[in-house]
Copies of this chain bind each other. A is one copy, B any other.
Amino acid sequence: MKVAAIGIQEVARAAGVSATTVSNVINGRDAKMRAETRDRVISAMKAMNYTPNALAQQFKSGQNKTIGLMVPSVASPFWGAVAHHVERAAHLRGYRVLIGNTTRDHSEEVRYGEMLLASGVRGVILGSAHVPFDHFRPLLDRGMQLASFGGRPAEGNDLLGASVSVDADLVGRLSAMHLLGLGHRRIAVLTGPIRSEAHMQRLAGIRSALASQGVELGEDLIWRAQNRGSSDDNEGLEQGRIGVRELLATPEPPTAIIAQNDIFAIGAYAGAADLGFSIPRDLSIVGFDDILFAAVLRPGLTTIRQSVPDMADGIVAVLVNQLSGKGDAHPHIRSTPELIVRGSTAPPGAANTRLASS
């Protein structure tokens, strides 16, 4: 069963030096030996096809070149893309990525965090930050570095090592301004049960943009999904569908909808179609994230893009930096959102005439 492991000892023997010298070669401490000796060791390593046992290195150093990534679900297009780019960025820096689907469940998050800590992982990137982070405090006390992708809570800043997020207020403004510019006045918001800081800020951005045109966002125009158990982020599809149907069934339905994200927006497409509403003629929809499918839908989804590759690379860079001890205290990377106009938004049309049908 046991595989014949080629260790540093065997290499040392083959090269006629001590294990320490081989170790020095591996770690590039060239000043510690003659060039001739180093070459001899290197060729011995090559000949034996030797790779240092990473497990032993990590064990000895206590440092683990691995970062943990917690996302609601990698099956979600958005978080899947995040995972992809985080892995790429980490790989580039010699780090591995352990992935965990936590379905936004606090106890899952903690369990997974414990496992990571026990495995020597000291840096974790947290997708979809929850407010508050208090359940992570025990982990942090034991030396874990926490980085957040997509939000930083107003309170509990001290818990977070680093974070990257899009300017949520601006996201809200961009979506609202775009719709206002098209002439919409009755604008609804379709959102999930998540109450993160980012969500609040986005809502605030929407509100202030609307207010600048004298439009108010009444509570009746905010549809919030109920939280139901296994939030694997794809149920947004169904929630968006339900939400838009309820919004459109009101006496005075909105002419435009700002969706929590593209998944909700795509659900909204289906919900609107269920009621015979045509997009964008009867209803304009703005999403968020710009997932791959946004461009392929018919009509194309107007959405606010967050640059996942940049954000992923940024947060990984900062986290890796911190893990090697040279980071700032609490860096925050702010990414700029971008409005992508496609076919799902247009000036308000004949929505009122269609109302009777429902």
**Residue A73, interface by CB 8 Å:** yes
**Residue A341, interface by CB 8 Å:** no
Contact with B along A308-330 (1 / 0, CB 8 A): 00000000000000000100000
Choose one: B55, B58, B74, B114; the contact of A87 (CB below 8 Å): B74
| B80 lies within 8 A of A74 (CB) | yes
Specify which of A55, A115, A298 lies most central, judged by the most chain B CB atoms within 10 Å of its CB: A55
**Residue A31, interface by CB 8 Å:** no
With both beta carbons as reference points, the residue of chain B lying nearest to A1 in the complex is identified as: B325
With both beta carbons as reference points, the residue of chain B lying nearest to A234 in the complex is identified as: B292
With both beta carbons as reference points, the residue of chain B lying nearest to A73 in the complex is identified as: B84
| B51 lies within 8 A of A59 (CB) | no
- Given A59-B59, A142-B3, A298-B273, are A99 and B118 neighbors across the interface (CB < 8 Å)? no
Chain A interface residue bracket vs B: 35 or more
Q: Which of A90-98, A126-134, A281-289 contacts B (4 or more CB under 8 A)?
A: A90-98
With both beta carbons as reference points, the residue of chain B lying nearest to A53 in the complex is identified as: B118
| B83 lies within 8 A of A99 (CB) | yes
| A293 lies within 8 A of B269 (CB) | no
Minimum C-beta distance from A108 to chain B (A): 9
**Residue A349, interface by CB 8 Å:** no
Starting from the known contacts A75-B292, A83-B99, 8 additional A-B residue pairs (CB-CB under 8 Å) come to A5-B62, A51-B114, A66-B98, A74-B84, A91-B101, A96-B119, A234-B292, A273-B298
Using CB atoms and an 8 Å cutoff, list the residues of chain A in contact with chain B. 1-3, 5, 49, 51-56, 58-59, 62, 64, 66, 73-77, 79-81, 83-85, 87-88, 91, 96-101, 112, 114-115, 117-120, 138, 142-143, 232, 234, 237, 266-267, 269-270, 273, 292-293, 296, 298, 325
| A and B contact pairs by CB, cutoff 8 A, 30 listed | A51-B117, A51-B118, A53-B120, A54-B118, A54-B120, A55-B58, A55-B120, A59-B59, A73-B84, A74-B83, A74-B84, A74-B87, A74-B99, A75-B81, A75-B85, A75-B292, A79-B80, A80-B80, A80-B83, A83-B83, A83-B99, A84-B101, A87-B99, A88-B101, A96-B98, A96-B115, A97-B98, A237-B292, A237-B296, A293-B293
